[in-house]
Amino acid sequence: MLQYLDAQRRLFEPALLLQPTSITLATAILSIAIKEAIYQYTMYVAKRVRSPMLRANAWHHRSDAISSVIVFIGVGGSMLGFLWLDAVATIGISFMIGYIGFSLSLPGIYELIDTGLEKEQLIEIKKISLSVNGVRGLHQLRPRKMGIRVFVDIHILVDQRIGRA
C-alpha cells in the first residue's frame, strides 16, 4: 500500500521521479527470463505430482515475470522521456499484486479445509462401491477432500451370506 501511495505522489510531482538507467532495463529483462523459466519448471512439477500448492507457487513466479514486464515498460518509457510511465507502472504492479493475491487465496483456503467432491466423483465412488462382490447397497456416503486426498465415510449393505462359503 505504501508503494502505491508513493507512486501516486511521484506521479503528480514530476520533480520526485527517479531516472532509471540501462542497468535497470537489463535487470528487468533478466528477471523476466529467469522467473518465466522457474514458472515453467514449477508448473511442470505441480502437474506431475498433482499439487495445487505447487501450482499456486508457480503462478507466484509467473506474477513476478509479469511484474517485470510492467517494470520493463515503465523503465523503458522513462528512458524515452515519458517519466510518468514509471509511476504508472508501479501503480499497475500494485493492483496486479492485489488481484493475484486474492485469486490465489481462495484455492489455498479450500486446500486447507474439508471440501466436498464434484457430483461426477460421487457417482464414481458409488459405482466402484457397488461393483465389489457381496455389496448390495450403500447409504450415508460422506466424502471430503483434504489437500490432494479424498476421505470417504460410507455405510455399505452386504449380502448376509458374504462370509459363508
pLDDT band at 145 (very low <50, low <70, confident <90, very high): confident
With a threshold of 0.85, does the pTM exceed it? no
Q: CA dist 95 to 31, 69, 88, 104, Å?
A: 20, 14, 11, 14
Return the domain boundaries, the chain: 2-112, 119-158
Task: State the pLDDT at residue 165.
Answer: 55
Which residue has better confidence, 161 or 74?
74
- Which positions ≥6 away from 98 have C-beta within 8 Å? none
- Residue 93: pLDDT band (50, 70, 90) is confident
For residue 34, what pLDDT is reported? 96
- pLDDT tens across 22-44, in order? 898 899 999 999 999 999 999 99
Name the percent of the chain in helix, strand, coil, to the closest 5.
65, 15, 20
Q: Which of 12, 18, 131 is nearest to 79 (CA)?
A: 18
User: Which has the higher per-residue pLDDT, 76 or 9?
Assistant: 76
Q: Which of 152, 11, 2 is nearest to 89 (CA)?
A: 11
Q: Could you tell me the pLDDT band of residue 111, with boundaries at 50, 70 and 90?
A: low
Average pLDDT value for residue range 123-142: 88
Name every residue whose Cβ is closer than 8 Å to that of residue 18 and which is 6 or more positions away in sequence.
Answer: 86
Sorting pLDDT into bands at 50, 70 and 90, what band is 105?
A: confident
CA distance 72 to 25: 6
Mean pLDDT of the chain: 83
